[in-house]
Structures are given as C-alpha cells and as structure tokens.
Chain A
C-alpha cells in the first residue's frame, strides 16, 4: 500500500477578484511522478506555492508528507526540494558556488548526496567555474535541479521545469526524473506541454483553477470515447467553419497543422467518412488527408474543458 505524500482537499485561493484555485482536490502517492497539466494561468504556480508553504489557502486544506501546510510549515520545508518557475539561481555565482550555497542553507553536504545528482552534475562539471547567468537554458535547468536535490528531499516540487528549454534537454530532464523516482523521491511537476504528460505516472488536468480530471495518462486518453478524425486541408480556416457546421459534428479544433474532428455519433463507418469527405469537397475544400486517429491527452483536455465551459 503506497502512502500519500500530498493530499489537497477543496482548496480555494483568491487574489482579489481573481479566483486562482477553485475547489481543487488531488492526491499524490509515495514514489510517483505526478503531473499538473494545464495552460499558463491555470493556477499551477499558485497550487505549488501552497504546497511549498509559501502561500496559505483561503479555504480547504493541503497536507504535504502528512503535515499541514499552514500549521506545520516549518517541519515541511526542510524535506522539500523546490524549483520555482524561473530557475532560481544566483547568476553572479558560479555553477559550483550555487550548488555549495544551496547545499549549505539546507545543512547538506555535497559529497554525501553526490550519488543523487551524479548524472546531472557530470554534465555540468566542465562548466563548474562558469557563472550561472552564462549557462544555456538547459544547463540552468540541470543546475537548478541539482540545487533542489542536494539535500535529498522527500518530495520534489518542480514548477514548469521545462519551460524555455530545448527539446533534447527536455527529454534528458524527464529521463532524469524517472531515475529519481527509483531513488524513492516523489515528484510533483507542472507543465503546459501535453506531450510531457505521458512521462508522468498520473496527471491532473487543470484549467482556470479547477482540476478537470485526475488519472494515468493512458486512462485519460482512453476516457475519450468519441470517434476522432484527423483532417489535413489547405484552407484550414474555411474547413474549420465548414466542419463545425456539419450536421454530425461534435467538436472541431486545430491541432498543430491538422484539424481534429470528433463526431457526435458513437461509431463511424467507412461510408460516414466518405460522406464527410464529399461534404468538404462540396464546399470546394481540397482534402489532403482524412483518417481516424487514436485520441491523445490533449484531445481529452479539450473535451473536458469544453464540457465544463458549456455546462
């Protein structure tokens, strides 16, 4: 039986008139990578600041490592590894000085916990005398993670750790998180990138301060039940309008350079697909590609967020 490292219940946070968090509920289990996935402004940072005891909730309660974030903040703080949205490093200090400093304020020893950060730090070692401000985005991110890990925290809280970082570094970063999980460190991470959701054990989709759904990425994609078609055309905008006016249309939105069309019917036959193709041609839209696809998390997210807005 896995124990719970984070539990939030009916969490509400307001900033003046802005409702940053609205009745949020979630649970993170020991040893898992839990992702909060949602667009900018969804409330991810506010939630993380409550979890790291930097903000207090207006309503509801949050428990981290079995301790209350308001009453027991002092006991929670030393057990946390926190990486804020903008990698919080001292730009005028060198790589090594940053690491020693953060180890120092957490009363940790770099040598003692070196094992944990070995993979990361070996990539940084050639630049250890370079000022942190002169590092690339990916390097800064690695250094910030090293600094957050150096006191061997129980729980790692990473707020958008891959924003502003190149694709290769992003992949390496997620590989690293996988290895940290094997060390028994639980990880709570937020990201606006849907493609990173697959790398989490479980995810919560969050929008406008509400948690839409919580599940494993696979289950969330599977929860999407409607037939889905990918449509590739030249005149995207005209096609988008035409598809939305189609009598069986459930939803249509652009997805990268294609359109995702979901049908209101439960299944689609080959005849139905031909009918749609003819419909578009009738509207003098040249169809390059039109075929059924498996839903992704982003499709689920779109579905869940429109459901909520309509309801």
Chain B
C-alpha cells in the first residue's frame, strides 16, 4: 500500500512538473467554452432588412413595426423597386428583403390572400434559412393575433421552444465540451503517460518491482481521474456563472454518469497504451481514433439523425454519443435515470468491454 501511495505521488509530480500540459488541460476547456459560447454562435444577431412596400397601409405598417421591435431585424432601407432590393443585397447592405404586394390590408382582412414575399441572401444558406424562418414566425404571430381578435375568444396557437427557449448554442456546447474534454484528458493523457514509461525504459523496472500490474495501472490513471473531475467541475461552474446555463437534473446523477464515462475513457486510454509502443503512436491513435469521432459523430456538432445510415451505425459504437445524450438529458431536460437507463447501460457495457480487453492485453512481461 505504501508502495502504491508512492507511485501515485510520483504520478502527480509528473503532471505538476509539466506546466505546459497542465495549462493546455485547464486552458483549453475555458477557451473553447468562451469561443463556442460567444464567438462561434449559431444564433442570429441583428440583421439589416430592406422593405418594398407597395401598399403602405395599416397592416403592412403594423408588420413592419413588429419587425422593428424584434431584436433580430433592423430596417435600414425603404426602396421603390425589387431591383433596389437586389442591388442592396448584392452590395451586402441587407440580408433580407420584405415585399408587400398592393392592397395588402384589404386582402388581409378579406382573407383574399394578401401577398408578402420574403427574400433572403442565400449566399450564406444557413443564415438565410434562419432569417427566413424568424421573419416568417413574426408575420405568422401577427396574423394569429389579428385573426383571433379579443372579441372572438377562441383557440390561440402559440409556439414554444422547449428547454432552450432562446435557442442558445451554449445549451449545445456545454455538454459537448464536457464530453470532448473528458475524453481528451482521460484517454489521450492516460495513454501517453503509460507509453512514456515504456519509452523511457522505466516500465521494465516497474514490472520487475513487487508492484502488481493492476497497481501500476491504477496508480497511473488515478491522477487523471481526479484531473478529469476537476475539469468537468470547472466547465460546469463556468457555464453557470458566465452563461447562466440552468441545471435542471440531479447533480448526483450527473456525477455518477460523468464518472462512468471517465472510467470508460480511462479504459480506452489503457487499451491504447497496451497496443502503442511510443508516445507518438499513442497520441495519433487517441486523436484520430477517439477525439475526431467524438467531435464529429457524437452529435456534438452534427445531429446524428441527419447522418447517412452507415455513419449512424458507426456513431452508435462511440461512447461519447451515448454520454452526450445522457448529459443533455440530465443538464437541460432534467431527466432521471428512468429515462436514461438505456444509454447508461450501453456505457456500462462499453466500460466492461474495454476494461476486459485492457486486462487481457496488459502484460506482466515485455512481450
């Protein structure tokens, strides 16, 4: 036991003596969180809009007022022809054009099909689609309010965005970031730390020592387990203080699931280190084999439902895909274990699988 304690102490020294790695470990999540939270935003900021109003009546005016009131649009030009809208878009002055047909108010109240066209600059298709739907939503909202006037109380249709009413991207990125960082610290760092012993030749002496193989492995991963928890806590605190991300689920469940995922990643890291002979190889395998699929296929950036079938199948064997669902469920939707047990079971299965593989591959000898 004393031997083991000494081993763990040594491992912590390795980590502390390497300030660059430490800086990356703690700096990276913070920088990514800030980048994803502020800079790389998929939300709309205020966009410029040009109007061609052929009616200039009270209804078109009211709709324009609504546009003006929304935080997304800024009416910068009132033009006389469609060509002017085209020109403004080409020059990049506006992203969106609204064209009211003649006799708008009359047709609107008679239900005759008032013509409103929304044109967008689809050179940037994602933004165009978003702008279009935002603008359409405002118009529809107005329409509904008019049709269900107070004197005829009837059904009111309201749309609502559940769980993320403001469609904030932070909701997406915080769980995703936790997944990526835990994977990185647990799997990548562990595999590098173990292969370093092999490369330096110290593994030979460790193996010859009375330390049992499981003590060597446990001693190597324990510091990274603590480090992973610390970083997860850091991301969580930052997301709540800086981005005011609500935490709807059970904190206990969150940490239990986190630990489960960390163990799975550590087992993966150990497995990689039993296969790789050098730190370089361990790093390449971890980055290409673990980190890339985690980022691209876990649903962190691209929704899994939109992937072609083969990729969906591959996504299923990535532990991060299941853990991300769990995290989103616990943090944002406030789900309990009743709703998440399938995903949890998948991760437990993977944990057992990788641990078993590592035990089989880890050698009491050099060969």
Contact = CB atoms under 8 A, between A and B. Distances in A.
Interface in A75-93: 77-78, 80, 82, 84-93
Given A89-B202, A90-B202, A92-B13, A104 B7 contact: yes
B353 interface: no
A100 interface: yes
A174 interface: no
B209 A106 contact: yes
Nearest to A98: B10
Size bracket, chain A contacts:
20 to 34
B210 interface: yes
Nearest to A148: B205
A101 interface: yes
Contact of A97 (B13, B202, B204): B13
B201 A104 contact: no
Q: Which of B7, B201, B204 has the most CB of A within 10 A?
A: B204
B245 interface: no
B10 A106 contact: no
A159 B200 CA distance: 15
A77 B208 contact: yes
Contacts of B6: 100-101, 104-105
A92 B6 CA distance: 16
DSSP majority for the A interface?
loop
Interface string B83-98: 0000000000000000
Contacts of B367: 55-56
B305 interface: no
Nearest to A153: B208
Q: Which of A82, A91, A104, A107 has the most CB of B within 10 A?
A: A104
A102 B205 contact: yes
Nearest to B13: A93
A82 B206 CA distance: 10
B138 to A, nearest CB: 61
Contact of A92 (B14, B206, B364): B14
B211 interface: yes
Contacts of A107: 2-3, 210
A239 B3 CA distance: 62
B158 to A, nearest CB: 62
B152 to A, nearest CB: 79
A104 B7 CA distance: 8
Nearest to B206: A105
A88 B365 contact: no
B113 to A, nearest CB: 77
Contacts of B206: 105
Interface string B12-32: 011001100000000000000
B275 interface: no
A107 B5 CA distance: 11
Contacts of B10: 90, 93, 97, 101
A141 interface: no
Contacts of B366: 49, 54-55
A78 B210 contact: yes
Nearest to A103: B6
Interface in A45-92: 49, 52-56, 73, 77-78, 80, 82, 84-92
Contacts of B222: none
A97 B207 CA distance: 19
Contact of A54 (B7, B17, B200, B207): B207
Given A49-B366, A104-B2, A106-B3, A88 B210 contact: no
Contacts of A100: 6
A90 B12 CA distance: 13
Interface in B193-220: 200-202, 204-211
B210 A55 contact: no
Contacts of A54: 204, 207-208, 365-366
Nearest to B200: A88
Nearest to B18: A92
Contacts of B365: 53-56, 73
Contacts of B205: 82, 84, 88, 102, 147-148
Contacts of A86: 200-201
Given A86-B200, A93-B13, A105 B209 contact: yes
Given A54-B204, A90-B10, A105-B7, 12 more contacts: A52-B204, A54-B366, A91-B200, A92-B13, A93-B14, A100-B6, A102-B205, A104-B2, A104-B3, A105-B211, A106-B3, A106-B209
Interface of B: 2-3, 5-7, 10, 13-14, 17-18, 200-202, 204-211, 364-367
Closest 6 CB pairs of A and B: A104-B6, A88-B201, A88-B202, A92-B17, A105-B209, A54-B366
28 contacts: A52-B208, A53-B365, A54-B365, A55-B365, A55-B367, A56-B365, A73-B364, A77-B207, A82-B208, A84-B201, A84-B204, A86-B200, A88-B200, A88-B201, A88-B204, A88-B205, A90-B202, A93-B13, A100-B6, A102-B205, A102-B209, A104-B2, A104-B6, A104-B7, A105-B7, A105-B209, A106-B209, A107-B3
